[in-house]
Amino acid sequence: MSLEKIKVQTCTPTTPLRSGRGFYQLEEDVLFVQLGQFSFRNRYFSFLESRKVRFDINKRGQLIFIELNVPRRQWKTNENFSFPITFKETDLRFTDFREYIKEPLITTNQDKSSIRISFETEYSSDFAYLLSENVICQVTKDQILSSIFITDIQDDFAGRELGKFRKKLTASAGETVMAGQISPIINYPPH
C-alpha cells in the first residue's frame, strides 16, 4: 500500500541555501538531483519511493537526493508550464520514512530543461518554497507536498558533470557551523 499524501513540516532555515542541481544521465535515461553536499551530517538515512521517483532523506528529514526513473522522451510537455516566481526559503522536513508513494505526474517545459513532479491534483498549492538553487516545492496549507520543480537541468554523460558539481561542493569547504555545533568536513580523495 502506498501513501496517499506526503506530509512535510516547514521551518525557518538556520543555514544558508544549499546548492542543488539536476543532472540528466544521457546513457541511463535517469535524472539525478543532488541537494547540498554529502557529509557526515548530511547522508542517506531513509527514502520515499515509487516506480518513477525516489527521494533520499537524511536523519533530520531533509531531502538530499532525487532520482527520477522516467526517460526524458516520456516527460509530458505542458504548453502552459511555469514554476512559482515568488517563494520563500525554508527548511522542509519529510515526516514519513521508508514508505512507498503514489506515482507522480511528470510534466516539463518545451525544451525539457525544467520538470514538475506532481503528487496532488485535487489540492491547490498555497505555498512555494526554495529548497536549493534549482529545486522549488509547493505545499498545501495542510503541509502536504503537492509538487517539486527542478529547474535548469543539465545533460550529463557518465556522471562527469555530477562529479564536477560534487567536487565543487567539497572544495567550497563543508557545512556551515552554527554556534555550539561541531561540523566535520569530509574531504574524499580524488578518483
Let me know: does 17 contact 89? Beta carbons within 8 Å: yes
Q: How far apart are CA 51 and CA 112, in angstroms?
A: 21
pLDDT in tens, 36-83: 876 666 677 899 999 999 999 998 899 999 999 999 999 999 999 998
Please choose, from the candidates 8, 181, 6, the residue with its C-alpha nearest in 3D space to the C-alpha of residue 91.
8
pLDDT in tens, 160-182: 787 777 677 666 644 443 333 33
